[in-house]
Copies of this chain bind each other. A is one copy, B any other.
Amino acid sequence: MFYGQSFLILKKKTAKEWKYYTNHSFIKRLSNNTLQKSKFINYLIQDYLFLIQFSKAWSLAIVKSENLEEMKICSNTVNGLINFEMDLHINLCKSYGIKKHTLVNATEKNKNIAYTRYVLNCGHSGDFLDLICALMPCVLGYAEIGLKIKNSKPSNQMYQKWIQTYSSEEYQNISQEVGKLFDNAIKLRLGKNYKKTYKWKKLINIFKTSTLLETDFWEMALE
């Protein structure tokens, strides 16, 4: 699957970190059915809290947009997250015995805080590119992971719903659109020779840091 040119280059620039993130033992265990249910539940609860901050980050992207086209794409993402994904997530949690009350009253763990606040602050302190770049490892990492697990055809069904979500045509389409949004946003602001700019170096750093912080999210679930 092609999620955009700049994403491809960023992955190559952070090959080691990217590989570690997308092949993390949390993912391996999830795909071969050896992930303890309690760890997955850890993950789901924190992911609920994550989605709230994630929605805020995409809302901030609207504020930081340079044109109506960017605003529309980000706004659709916000709408999808707040009005659909949140409910899907609540239902998924329910199917694992986690009550809504538990979700709403859960406490964010430090590693969850680390990634979301880093992303939000990339937006607040920086510009649209900084913010979208910090979101990439999450959005496109999940797309890549979802598809990889699906293609490896795990024989069991324990976490099937989660796998289906991120390998679904719908999520793959969203991810491609986001990759395209990022490509276009870079070209608009940095021009064709963007790889020679100072900003591009900064974006590589943001991508790398975000990948490391997302990796910690898996770690957190296994703790």
Contact = CB atoms under 8 A, between A and B. Distances in A.
A82 to B, nearest CB: 5
Interface stretch (A39-47, A113-121, A147-155): A113-121
Contacts of A71: 52, 55-56, 82
A212 interface: yes
A11 interface: no
B68 A59 contact: no
A189 interface: yes
Contact of A56 (B55, B63, B198, B199): B63
Nearest to A71: B82
Given A72-B83, A117-B117, 14 more contacts: A55-B62, A55-B75, A56-B63, A56-B125, A59-B60, A59-B75, A76-B83, A78-B78, A79-B79, A110-B212, A113-B209, A114-B118, A190-B197, A190-B198
Give the interface size class of chain A: 35 or more
Contacts of A114: 110-111, 113-114, 117-118
Nearest to A120: B121
Contacts of A199: 189
Given A52-B71, A60-B63, A198 B188 contact: yes
Interface centre among A113, A121, A196, A216 (most CB of B within 10 A): A121
B110 A63 contact: no
